[in-house]
Amino acid sequence: MQILVLFLVLGVVDVNVSQRYSSIQWLSHLRRRWHGADWQAEDIDCPLECDCPAAYPTAMYCHSRNLQHVPFVPSHIKYVYLQRNQITGIQDGVFDNATNLVWVILSHNKLNADKISNNVFTKLGSLNWLFLDHNELTGVPQNLPKSITDLRLNHNKISKVHSSSFQGMTNLTTLQLQANVIEDIQGGLKGLKSLTMLDMSKNKLRKIPENLPETLQQLYLEFNNIENVPAGFLTAYPKLLFVRLAHNTLTDKGLPSNVFNTSTLLELDLSFNKLERIPFVSRNLENLYLHANKIKEFSLSSFCSTTDVTNFSRLKVLRLDANEISARDIPAEAAYCLRHVAFIDV
């Protein structure tokens, strides 16, 4: 009976934790924790507000329970889930024993850069994933581990990014910065020599960031205020496969004539801009999105040489709807050149 009362009291005190469970589940969970066979070694240092299931001895689950701080992470933990809480800062020392941490998931909290202690991550030499998306960061936290491969900072309030923020992160492959208020990346990201994916959509960029890594394969820049693409832009990044520039303010004047004539590109999204002409694209391009522009004519020469339409294009998807042309404007010879396109959306 006494034990049951204790459980009930704990259940009430820790009301945040119990939100995820029905009270019965929560009681049985506690009972297991206090009396079960796994009330030994590993579980003993699991913070009370978290779950460390015996079946996953290196994981610590603390998500969705109104936590306001990061609990101290025991040394054997590699994966820590802290998403969907009310955490505003990270106090010094919480990760100091957990030097083997591989993932730290802090998405959907209220993190504020000023409340993240400067050296909180410095001992995490094995950290690969750091998810800080959907928080209230106004800047990139300092001294991030150089071992990170996947860094998510999207949906914050970051306005300035300095190249030094990511200094030495030579293993970083994915950088998500979408939905912030970034106007420019001073100094570029050139040092990120493994970066393959950069998402900076939904920011306040007025131009394509300069000095990006040559390893880049995916570049997402939708919903910015970009007016032009610099000459030679794509040749500077020979590994680019996917480029999205939808919902910007691109005009014909902003596109140098040969800027998309690059053989590696597979997908190019230029929809929701102010183009009046179809730009010349490489024969190797597979997906081209040009809908919601102001295109007035269908120029077959943008895809094939008009003197040799049998030298055809690899294009599979071509969207031209919501422009100022109709199916009647597409010449019959288009069928020889665009032979992989099932139908052209006009």
Ligand X SMILES: *[C@@H]1O[C@H](CO)[C@@H](O)[C@H](O)[C@H]1NC(C)=O
Q: Give the interface with ligand X as residue ranges (CB under 6 A).
A: 45, 72, 75, 97, 146-147, 170-171, 258, 261, 280, 305, 311
Chain Cα centroid distance, residue 138: 17
Q: How far is the CB of 305 from ligand X (least distance, A)?
A: 6
| 114 or 308: CB nearest ligand X | 308
Cα distance between residue 42 and residue 75, in whole Å: 10
Cα distance between residue 89 and residue 93, in whole Å: 12
| 146 or 339: CB nearest ligand X | 146
**Which residue number is nearest to ligand X in terms of Cβ?**
147
| 66 or 99: CB nearest ligand X | 99
| 280 or 336: CB nearest ligand X | 280
Tokens representing 307? Answer: 């003197």
Q: 38-61 burial string, b = 16+ CB within 10 Å, else e? A: beeebbeebbeebbbbeeeeebbb
Give me the torsion for CA of 67, 120, 93, 32, rounded to 10°. Answer: 40
DSSP-derived secondary structure for 240-294: --EEE--SS---GGGS-TTTB--SS--EEE--SS--SSPPPB-TT--EEE--SS-
* Side-chain half-sphere CA neighbours of 151 within 13 A: 25
The Cα angle at residue 300 between residues 295 and 301, in degrees rounded to 5: 105
Contact 186, 211 (CB under 8 A): no
Q: How far is the CB of 88 from ligand X (least distance, A)?
A: 22
| 75 or 306: CB nearest ligand X | 75
Q: How far is the CB of 170 from ligand X (least distance, A)?
A: 6
Q: How far is the CB of 171 from ligand X (least distance, A)?
A: 4
| 100 or 261: CB nearest ligand X | 261
Cα distance between residue 127 and residue 101, in whole Å: 6
Chain Cα centroid distance, residue 89: 22
Q: How far is the CB of 49 from ligand X (least distance, A)?
A: 15
| 26 or 121: CB nearest ligand X | 121
Q: How far is the CB of 312 from ligand X (least distance, A)?
A: 9
DSSP 8-state secondary structure symbol assigned to residue 24: H
Q: How far is the CB of 151 from ligand X (least distance, A)?
A: 13
**CA distance readout (Å), 154 to 56, 177, 259, 275, 340:** 29, 4, 29, 29, 36
Q: How far is the CB of 257 from ligand X (least distance, A)?
A: 7
| 260 or 289: CB nearest ligand X | 260
